[in-house]
Amino acid sequence: MQEERKRRKRSDHPFSLKWLAIAPAILGLLAWIAFFLQANGVPQRQFDRGEELFFKGQYERAVRNFRRLHDQHPHNSLAPRALLQAGEILYLHLGREREALLTYLLVQRDYPGSPEDSRAQQRAAEIYKYRLEDYDRALTAYQKLLDNGDSEGENFQYEIADIYFRRNHFEQARIEFEHYLKRYPDSERLDEVLFRVASIHALEGSLKQAATTFKRLAEHFPDSPFHQEALYGLAMVREETGELRAALDLLERLRKDYHRPEVLELRMDQIRQRMEKKRKAI
């Protein structure tokens, strides 16, 4: 019996040594699994908590929660979404445009090429243009978006043209709007862009081109909200070129429905006076 116990002890010994050798590796693996589950579970809970606060209208707390997620877990897949969401709340719900802008710029810096990056660029460009009236930075931002081939290129092209117009760079604005017409011939904004091109032609003194574009708009878009303005613009061009009867006839067509009847009547009186002076001069 003593010999048998010795034999079993000898056979058990290598097995015990084997377990002692691999135990640290097993413990390390278990620790890594636990850390992985915790590291991925915490950001998800933080993100869910941020959305819960947002839907409850607790915007300040939601922003802090989303920012905390980004600061504590910057490499987690939820971090760019959380940071973008913080910017959206600051911009759209709290009206703190400059803080929102800094948050959008942080998204662009930390997560270039991500879906959140594109959205952050759009928001930053929007704030530059419409809130801060920083047209130079807005132009740079929209041009970058357009060059990147974003699916919203049509909107970016429009914004670029509009920025040049707001800066009184009318020639470049017209060029950008004309490029828009060529690139997006089926756009829902086609009537508006035609109107703006015609108006810029008139501002530049290119009356023939203005008349052609106003006429195209009036003929092809009879139901457009710009239809009446196109006829009025065409009438002004006709008056400017001395075609007083044609100008008066166009204004007569607008008399029933024009949204500024007092302006229309005043313009018609002025044209009649010019026609009367011209008749007396003859």
Segment 31-40, tens digit of pLDDT: 444 344 344 5
* Cβ-Cβ contacts under 8 Å for 262 (sequence gap 6 or more): none
160-171 burial, b at 16+ Cβ within 10 Å, e below that, comes to bbbbbbeeeeee
In a domain, 232, yes or no: yes
In a domain, 29, yes or no: no
114-134 burial, b at 16+ Cβ within 10 Å, e below that, comes to bebbbbbbbbbbbbbbeeeee
Is residue 194 domain-shared with residue 257, that is, in the same domain? yes
Domain that holds residue 200: 169-282
Domain final position from 126, 160, 184: 126
In a domain, 98, yes or no: yes
| CB 80, CB 108: distance < 8 Å | no
| CA Rg value for the chain | 34
Is residue 184 domain-shared with residue 111, that is, in the same domain? no
In a domain, 111, yes or no: yes
What's the pLDDT tens digit per position in 142-201? 999 999 987 889 999 999 999 999 999 999 999 999 999 999 999 999 999 999 999 999
Which of these, 257, 251, 252, lies nearest to 233 by C-alpha position?
A: 251
Is residue 280 domain-shared with residue 173, that is, in the same domain? yes
Residue 250, token pair as written in the block = 């166009």
What pLDDT sits at residue 10? 56
In the predicted structure, residue 219 carries a pLDDT above the cut 70: yes
Q: Which domain CATH number covers 72? A: 1.25.40.10
Residue 243, token pair as written in the block = 């075609």
Model-wide pTM > 0.85: no
- What's the CA gap between 110 and 117, in Å, rounded? 9
Q: How many domains is the chain built from?
A: 2
Domain final position from 68, 101, 126: 126
Is residue 99 domain-shared with residue 175, that is, in the same domain? no
Is residue 173 domain-shared with residue 271, that is, in the same domain? yes
Residue 33, token pair as written in the block = 């699994």
What's the pLDDT tens digit per position in 48-107? 999 999 999 999 999 999 999 999 999 999 999 999 999 999 999 999 999 999 999 999
Is residue 238 domain-shared with residue 173, that is, in the same domain? yes
